[in-house]
Amino acid sequence: MAKKDDSLAAVRQEIERLRKELTEHAWRYYVLNQPIISDEEYDQMFRRLVELEERYPQLITPDSPTQRVGFPPAEEFARVRHITPMLSLDNAFNEEELRAFDKRVKKFLGLKETEAVAYTCELKIDGLAVNLTYRDGILATGATRGDGVDGEDVTNNLRTIKTIPLRLLVEKPPSVLEVRGEVYMTKEDLAVLNKEQQKKGERVFANTRNAAAGSVRQLDPAITAQRRLDIFCYGIGVCEGVTFATQWEVLEWLKKAGFKVNPHNKLCEDISEVVDYCHHWVQQIHAMPYSADGVVVKVNRLDWQERLGATAHAPRWAIAYKFPAEQKTTKVKNIVVQVGRTGKLTPVAELEPVQVEGVTIVSATLHNEDQIKRLDVRIGDTVIVQRAGGVIPEVVAVVPERRTGQEIPFTMPKVCPVCETPVVRPPGEVDYYCPNAQCPSRVENWIKHWCSRGALNIEALGEERVRQLVEENLVSDPADLYFLQPNRLRSLPGWADKLTKKVLSEIEASKRAPLSRFIFALGIRHVGERVAEILAQHFKSLDRLAKASPQEISQIPTIGPKIAESVVRFFQSPTAKSLLEKLKKAGVRPRAVEVEEEAVPDSPLRGKVVVFTGELTSWTRGQAEALVRKLGGRAASGVSRQTDFVVVGQNPGSKAQKARDLGVTMLTEEEFKALVQPYLDQVS
């Protein structure tokens, strides 16, 4: 017990000492696995801290070890935007594809094929990717990856994971830092959890990835705390105040800062070492206590990473080598054709149930007619199946030795199996399409897509509810959702008053969704969430995008002519024109990206692409980029021929040299400040 004459200053000093020591001992125990005190000594220190914080609650801080558990359950997870996007990775499935990646890197960097590029190799842990944001060394937010741009705020849940530091262990932490990691559960802990779930009559988890994701996304942090979760951190996003030259330096610094980093990471001098590393882990990974589905290979030099940049969805400087999938044999009972939201016809094999990687597979995609011919798969065949990328079931081969002569060859239908409209196969494409925009299957899948989390997030309208609305002829396109009447909905089987109110409330809220989500919801071919975000940032409004030419769209960095043509073709179609007109009548008005742009019509940055490099003194990087957007410009991460200005701060990186090579206008920070100074009052 604290003495009555203890001064508040003395109590604060003791609390700070206890927190510091407990944080270091937890790091040694959970991260390094090298404790230097007994569990009893740790518990005594922890109880003393709890006692002092209960007596002096005004001294409790978010980074205290006592604050890992104790937050009330949330009603729902808020959305949080990552400062820098969390891009996905392209895949390699064999040695040839790894070496092809190495050749692409060298070609892009202008290196000779004989020159060696150093890479880091990191096991690709099979869990849930998260983004941890620290401000002045204190954990501020923790979010799921989500769509790569926005994730779910699961800060209180991630606080319960003891290998995530609440305060960085370095003396001069970055002012802002994003740390990327993979939350996982061991195979042993999954077995224990599933046994407990069975006892309680609750669902069991198919694999460690599902268990990690389900545990992190609990609304009650106390439940998350009961699950034995761990994390490996593998990289950073934004980092203000600390600079690195290589990915290996990043990994070493993360360890010093208190993060758990996989001990099997390796710095490889060339692609041959990378290949050897991957081959080694193909043989050894099953013996590990956790699941990993591949190896992430990254160019080690960060200045080269910057030069390589990224496509719309993946960095050019990294690739994921995927371990060979587990394969099983089963029988094809039938082959059916499904019709997607774009009208694409996809043949699907209906299978005798088989367990693959802990999941029961009852169907598998056959992709298209060319794939069926290549495999020569027939109804009744014995086939080999696997989960592509560890997720999507697919047929990879036929076992012809088991044929009996009773197998039936399959041919693609000449008419849509749903609406009987003659199908078409565009020149140069492998897929057949149903051209009927009113095909019930197209409508149903389009509306499911419209309501999905990455689009307009109308969660109350799940698959069964959407199917019901289509079958009742209440909707023929997404715009019809905004004209649904409560009395008609209440008359549907299973639609109580509470559900009706929830559905209509979420539909109403979606009228002012962000522009990027609205573009994605439209279901334009080749336009995923990341491309939708890029288009929204560039055009700022739907009207401008709808009127854009293919040339204007294809000039945007990372957007090619194929995407541009698809976008223009969509907006010129009668279906799109009718849809947009109905949405306007319904009062659907997606939120423009930066409405401030309209307030500064004479801005010198209007329509300009600006890139920052080096450390700024007047603003943080995020503040400077936000200012560019407010003044009608676009802040880009990489330099290209489309870049208008490169603003050079202190200790600039390779972007400055690339700007010189391309002849891009370069501004000092003072020149940039002078350029925008007259307009600051209009955007403050």
Residue 247 CB partners (closer than 8 Å, separation 6+): 120, 235, 298, 299, 300, 301, 302, 305
Q: How far is CA 637 from CA 174, 590, 599, 629, 651, in A?
A: 20, 26, 25, 13, 17
Copy the structure tokens of residue 39. Answer: 């569990």
Phi and psi at residue 41, to the nearest 5°? -65, -40
Helix (H, G, I), strand (E, B) or coil at 175: coil
Residue 615 burial class via C-beta count within 10 angstroms: exposed 0-12, middle 13-18, buried 19 and up: middle
Q: At what angle do helices 440-451 and 463-471 cross, to 10 degrees?
A: 140
Q: How far is CA 78 from CA 81, 228, 458, in A?
A: 10, 24, 15
If one counts every other C-beta atom within 10 angstroms of the C-beta of residue 609, the result is 21
- Which sign does the torsion angle of CA 12, 17, 18, 19 carry? positive
Residue 623 CB partners (closer than 8 Å, separation 6+): none
How far is 187 from 197, CA to CA, in rounded Å? 15
Strands 665-668 and 645-648: parallel
How far is 167 from 27, CA to CA, in rounded Å? 11
- Going across the sheet that includes 128-135, the strands are 138-144, 128-135, 176-184, 230-240
Nearest to 81 by CA among 646, 511, 593, 589: 593
Place of tokens 């509470």: 498
585 counts as catalytic: no
Q: How far is CA 468 from CA 317, 489, 509, in A?
A: 46, 10, 22
Q: Which of 103, 124, 256, 658 is catalytic?
A: 124
How far is 184 from 251, CA to CA, in rounded Å? 18
Residue 677 CB partners (closer than 8 Å, separation 6+): none
How far is 596 from 578, CA to CA, in rounded Å? 30
The H-or-E segment that residue 120 falls in is: strand 119-125
- Which sign does the torsion angle of CA 440, 441, 443, 444 carry? positive
How far is 109 from 405, CA to CA, in rounded Å? 55
Torsion angle defined by CA atoms of residues 568, 570, 572 and 577, in that order, rounded to the nearest 10 degrees: -140
Alpha helices in 354-405 (DSSP H): 369-375
Residue 33 burial class via C-beta count within 10 angstroms: exposed 0-12, middle 13-18, buried 19 and up: exposed
How far is 648 from 582, CA to CA, in rounded Å? 47
The H-or-E segment that residue 121 falls in is: strand 119-125
How far is 513 from 510, CA to CA, in rounded Å? 5
What phi-psi label fits residue 438: left (phi over 0), alpha (psi between -120 and 50 degrees) or beta? alpha
Entry field: residues in the chain: 684
Report, as residue numbers or ranges, the catalytic residues: 124
